[in-house]
Structure 1
Amino acid sequence: MEGEALPRPAEGAAGAHLVLQADEPRATGSGGCNRFLADYGVQGARLRFDRLVSNITLCLKTSAVETRFFEALLLVQSFQQQGTQLILRGSDGRTLLRFESAQTPLN
């Protein structure tokens, strides 16, 4: 996130992640504590997230990181795929979030 590696989640805990649904413009995932759901739109290399909602479990150790993660998702304007990485950038081209795929990239 913003060039900074996130700490590994505790044993049995879900780390921050993002899943873009292929059959509908819906994104799901976790901010590291709370699960979330958002709408997304893709047009060429443009990507936008809207209407992000999450549950409200209190997570004292990860709440600041999770808040930054959710805020960064809502600032995304474009994306780039590099191998197994998905890079999400803001309006100024700055990398906001970088994800490593848990699956093999599509060719």
Structure 2
Amino acid sequence: MLAPEQLVLYQIDLSEVFEGDCEVGHFYSHQHHEAAFVNHLVVSRIESGQRYLIRNNQFIHSNEHTDVEVVQTIDNVVLLRTLLDEYFAIAASDEHLQVAFDKVRTRIAL
């Protein structure tokens, strides 16, 4: 059996970094029409070996202590509101939730 090929993912140096150095990446991540955070609903919370994730129309709860992962389809805006409140402590207006839910449904249908 061959050993896996090693791949360097990060290079770190001790150069001084300024806020402006990060602005282009930050702008792209939330403004560019092809950016993941513009085109996908993503909410994540990690706490005490539990990972809660909303990715588009899926809610995923992973428990690293038991190695159990539960995947649930979010098929209505009421469920989206319940999950955001219960697992993420996020409150949003009905209008914003409906817009987000409709965008997810439209993207999934494409």
Same fold (TM over 0.5): no
Higher fraction of strand: 1
User: Max radius of gyration: which structure?
Assistant: 2
Higher fraction of helix: 2
TM-score computed with the length of structure 2 as normaliser: 0.30
TM-score computed with the length of structure 1 as normaliser: 0.31
